């Protein structure tokens, strides 16, 4: 995680690659999946214990830059190829295409979200996230096209947490 506050949210530091624009229309959302806690008891004591069900947390976002990196996240891997659509791409290829894999494999990446509101920011860092395509990609002539992905947050490197979120921080742009 970069040191807080992040002086330039567009360039958070080495090791981070921007996935491009995200939807203004469909914001970043967080979901929690899992059972609700349940109170267990007996005839003598109706509230002996509360269960601690496992919760799975995820972050959904809509990517707007149709790049090979975005395709890899949505389609679950794949191969970047050159302009002929078959030969693996080289660094000198100015045109690239993407071969959609027959079997999708969630992509495991670190995820950094920097939400900026004027002179304030909130930073979310997830050391490990399993990212895969969410809903359908729709080409609508009256709206911007989006690539919906969901990042399920995982605990990384044996930690007992799945992410870190900062308090609202003042920073200088």
Sign (positive/negative) of CA torsion 120, 127, 160, 131?
positive
Residue 149 has what pLDDT? 97
Contact at 8 Å (CB) between 122 and 115? yes
Q: Are 77 and 55 in contact (CB under 8 A)?
A: no
What is the phi-psi region of residue 39: left when phi exceeds 0, alpha when psi lies from -120 to 50, beta otherwise?
beta
| Interacting residues of 108 by C-beta distance below 8 A, sequence separation 6+ | 128, 129, 130, 131, 154
Domain of 141 in residue numbering reads as: 29-35+51-65+105-170
Write down the residue that tokens 């996935």 correspond to. 19
Q: Is residue 122 part of a domain?
A: yes
- The predicted model scores a pTM of 0.83
pLDDT per residue rounded down to tens, the chain (173 residues): 899 999 888 889 888 988 988 988 888 998 998 888 889 999 999 999 998 888 889 999 999 999 999 999 999 999 999 999 899 999 898 888 999 999 999 999 999 999 999 899 999 999 999 999 999 999 999 989 999 999 999 997 778 888 999 999 998 76
Q: Please give the tally of structural domains in the chain.
A: 1
Q: Considering the domain boundaries, does residue 92 fall inside one?
A: no
Residue 153 forms part of a structural domain: yes
3-state secondary structure of 75: helix
């Amino acid at each position: 995680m970069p040191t807080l506050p992040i002086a330039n949210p567009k360039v958070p530091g080495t090791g981070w690659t921007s996935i491009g624009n995200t939807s203004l229309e469909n914001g970043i959302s967080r979901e929690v999946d899992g059972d609700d806690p349940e109170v267990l008891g007996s005839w003598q004591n109706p509230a002996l214990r509360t269960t601690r069900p496992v919760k799975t947390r995820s972050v959904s976002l809509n990517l707007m830059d149709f790049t090979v990196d975005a395709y890899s996240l949505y389609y679950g891997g794949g191969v970047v190829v050159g302009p002929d659509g078959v030969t693996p791409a080289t660094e000198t290829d100015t045109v690239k295409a993407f071969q959609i894999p027959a079997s999708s494999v969630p992509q495991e990446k670190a995820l950094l979200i920097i939400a900026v509101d004027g002179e304030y920011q909130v930073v979310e860092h997830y050391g490990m996230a399993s990212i895969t395509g969410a809903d359908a990609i729709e080409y609508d002539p009256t709206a911007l096209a989006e690539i919906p992905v969901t990042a399920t947050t995982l605990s990384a490197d044996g930690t007992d947490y799945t992410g870190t979120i900062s308090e609202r921080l003042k920073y200088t742009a």
